[in-house]
Amino acid sequence: MSFQKHASDLFHTMSQMLELTGSDRFRVNAHAKASRIIKDTTVDLEPLARDGDLKAIAAIEGIGKGTAAKLIELAQTGTISEYEALCTKVPIGVMEVLGVQGLGPKTVKLMWEQKGVESIDDLKRILDDGSILELPRMGEKTVENIKASIAFLESSGRRLPIGIAQQVADRFITMLKEAPGTIRVAFAGSLRRGKDSIGDVDILIATTDPDAAREAFTTCDGVMQVLAKGETKCSIRTAIGDSASRWGKDKNAAVQVDLRMVDEPNWGAALLYFTGSKEHGVRLRERAISMGMTLNEYGLFKDASSEADFKKMPPQTRGIEPIACASEEAIYLALEMPFIPPTMREDRGEMKLTEPIHVIELEDIKAELHSHTMASDGKMTIEESAAIAKARGFHTLAITDHSQSSAVAGGLKPHRLCEHIKSIREANTRIDGITLLAGSEVDILVDGTLDYDDDLLHALDVVVASPHAGLRAKPKQATKRLLKAIEHPMVHIIGHPTGRLIEQREGLSPDMNEIIAAAIEHHVALEINSHWMRLDLRDTHVRAVVEAGALISINCDGHHPGDYDNLIFGVLTGQRGWLTAERCINTWDAKKLHGWLKSKR
């Protein structure tokens, strides 16, 4: 595990421990915020912390001297004294109990203090003997939900990659659109914000027949358990389905889906509220208050803070007319802000914007520069891939099958690559409407050298250099390896630069600022690999690339025909990093793109 991930996890755990021990809200939130900043920063904190460079660490936006001192302590001693002190107060098993869905810190604290619950096994004990019912606000229905949550945690407790979550959401939205009375239906939450992994799926519906929506939602195919069926909210657990197999899960693995019924006139406010993020919502509400207004899930209103029950009651029941509620755009306008796309709502500086940022959109992509055919481990012929790319309106498709070191992926020996180049060039002469380029996804070996000699690389139109092995290297070694590949004069794109797999493999942790600076110097693009198991570069890396002025390439890394549909996830990741179309080489017209590619020859 990298230093930064370890540090981020520790600060998150400390935040939870402080909440369990009744610490003040400021300290709890400060540690939670530090966890997010440490996770998101592209600065390599480990060497700075090992050198005790308090000033340099504290200079990073959002990290104060206190957090910097703790990072130095962690790097130099292997732990943080505050964490160790909290561990003497909070048994580690209590933290595991906090991971059971539906149990908040207050309830876990009560269980711990009044029933001695210090592990999942202890929780099972009070469930089995019924003593859990002696706790306040604990009824039979709640107990059944806790039991189901434990089973869910033990069977499929990991977060879902966005590609799986999107398929689940699409399934329910398609079904709910057909329900009687449906006016509008959409997914919200972290899925709408394009996060790479999802805890549960949130769906909003505006309908003239709420009973029909509830019935359709709770009785459709795949529902494994109904957790709640209320007037405004229903919750179920549903099987992921056949798409789970490509994630290494059983198709009966479960995910929670929440449905919220909202009034159609308040649709925009509800969508804004339930999309989040929590941190962005807090900033919006603070801005509203500073302007003499109140913002909640029903709309934006003139200040009514003197009404203690304002947030508890729908405003329409009190005759309060909203300033804005029908659309998100209207609410941002009333707050004197540019519209913030859902993917940018993470409290990462978007509240300071005075003009809109027109981030990249799916329709901006006009070329695919990383694809595989049956020549290596793909399932498409050159012609089949070209037909799909052409149908999507692409002007260019690069065929980039694996190089020789990727033996498990059918990597091409030099003589086979030469034959493949001829096949691609021949196909290009007879397929109209799209330009086919001969390329290769060339392995970056552990010492940073490439998998083919320079003469063969020179014969290629596109070189995508990617790391596939040795993905547990230390940050310094990983940085050196990638820098050597970037400096190679034949390389156009660094493919999936860290090699991570979401929720499965952390991958490399290079110093991204060094990588980005080298990419600018050598005119190399860094890839967002659009496959939902990769999304590498990740969003925080993209943001650093954008701020530095480097180039991005968004590619499908297509192996199967359906992989072209993954492009949206790469675009969403780009949006989360504030990427605009002009910084992405896949949006360039053919003349500009081909000229750039040839400039490396």
| Residues 276-294 pLDDT 10s | 999 999 999 999 999 999 9
- Enter the tokens of residue 378: 């793909």
The residue behind tokens 């999936």 is: 496
Q: Name the nearest CA neighbour of 256 among 342, 143, 145.
A: 145
The CATH classification number of 162-261 equals: 3.30.460.10
Q: What is the dihedral angle through the alpha carbons of 81, 87, 90, 93, rounded to the nearest 10 degrees?
A: 150
| Three-state DSSP class for residue 269 | helix
Residue 251 banded pLDDT, cuts 50, 70, 90:
low
Q: Name the nearest CA neighbour of 31 among 45, 48, 16.
A: 16
Contact 434, 389 (CB under 8 A): yes
pLDDT digits (tens, 9 = 90+) for 145-177: 888 778 767 665 568 899 999 999 999 999 999
**CA pair distance 462, 439, nearest whole angstrom:** 4
**CA pair distance 11, 433, nearest whole angstrom:** 54
3-89: CATH, from 2.60.40.10, 3.20.20.80, 1.10.150.110, 3.30.420.10: 1.10.150.110
Q: What are the contacts of 166-169 at 24+ separation with CB within 8 A?
A: 166/191, 166/532, 166/569, 167/241, 167/243, 168/201, 168/238, 168/240, 168/241, 168/255, 168/257, 169/201, 169/203, 169/257
Strands 201-207 and 182-187: antiparallel
* Mean pLDDT confidence for 100-118: 86
Residue 20: which residues within 8 A CB-CB, separation 6 or more?
A: 90, 94, 98, 105, 108, 109, 112
Strands 197-198 and 160-161: antiparallel
Give the per-residue pLDDT at 102.
Answer: 77
* Mean pLDDT confidence for 108-135: 89
pLDDT digits (tens, 9 = 90+) for 506-563: 899 999 999 999 999 999 999 999 999 999 999 999 999 999 999 999 999 999 999 9
- pLDDT greater at residue 243 or residue 360: 360
- Enter the tokens of residue 515: 């990588």
Residue 87 banded pLDDT, cuts 50, 70, 90:
confident
Distance set, CA 272 to CA 234, 299, 328, 329, 541 (Å): 19, 9, 6, 10, 26
φ/ψ of 363, rounded to 5, equals -70, -10
Quick one: angle between helices 105-115 and 120-128, nearest 10? 70
Domain locations along the chain = 3-89, 93-156, 162-261, 268-352, 362-598
- Enter the tokens of residue 478: 């990983």
pLDDT digits (tens, 9 = 90+) for 47-86: 899 999 999 999 988 898 999 999 999 999 989 999 888 8
**What is the length of the chain?**
601
Instruction: Report, at the CATH architecture level, how domain 362-598 is classified.
Output: Alpha-Beta Barrel (3.20)
Contact 373, 385 (CB under 8 A): yes
User: In this prediction, what percent of the chain has a pLDDT beyond 70?
Assistant: 94
The residue behind tokens 């059944």 is: 144
- The mean pLDDT value of the chain amounts to 91
Strands 254-261 and 367-368: unpaired
N- to C-terminal Cα distance for the chain? 39
Angle among Cα 343, 328, 233 to the nearest 5 degrees reads: 85
φ/ψ of 453, rounded to 5, equals -75, 165
- Enter the tokens of residue 589: 């017209």
CB atoms < 10 A from the CB of 250, how many? 12
* Mean pLDDT confidence for 110-134: 89
Instruction: Decide if pLDDT at 248 tops 70.
Output: no
Contact 255, 238 (CB under 8 A): yes
Residue 307 banded pLDDT, cuts 50, 70, 90:
very low
CB atoms < 10 A from the CB of 148, how many? 18
> Would the CATH topology of 162-261 be identical to that of 268-352?
no
Q: Name the nearest CA neighbour of 97 among 114, 116, 118.
A: 118
User: In this prediction, what percent of the chain has a pLDDT beyond 90?
Assistant: 70
At 402, the amino acid letter reads H
Which H or E run includes 179? none
For domain 268-352, give the fold: Beta Polymerase; domain 3 (3.30.210)
Which H or E run includes 237? strand 233-239
* Mean pLDDT confidence for 332-352: 97
DSSP track, 521-554? HTT-EEEEE--TTT-BS-HHHHHHHHHHT-EEEE
pLDDT digits (tens, 9 = 90+) for 405-427: 998 889 999 999 999 999 999 99
Residue 40 banded pLDDT, cuts 50, 70, 90:
confident
Strands 525-529 and 551-555: parallel
**CA pair distance 598, 590, nearest whole angstrom:** 12
Give the per-residue pLDDT at 505.
Answer: 85
The CATH classification number of 93-156 equals: 1.10.150.20
* Mean pLDDT confidence for 185-204: 96
Percent composition of the chain: helix, strand, coil (DSSP 3-state, to 5): 50, 15, 35
**CA pair distance 305, 292, nearest whole angstrom:** 9
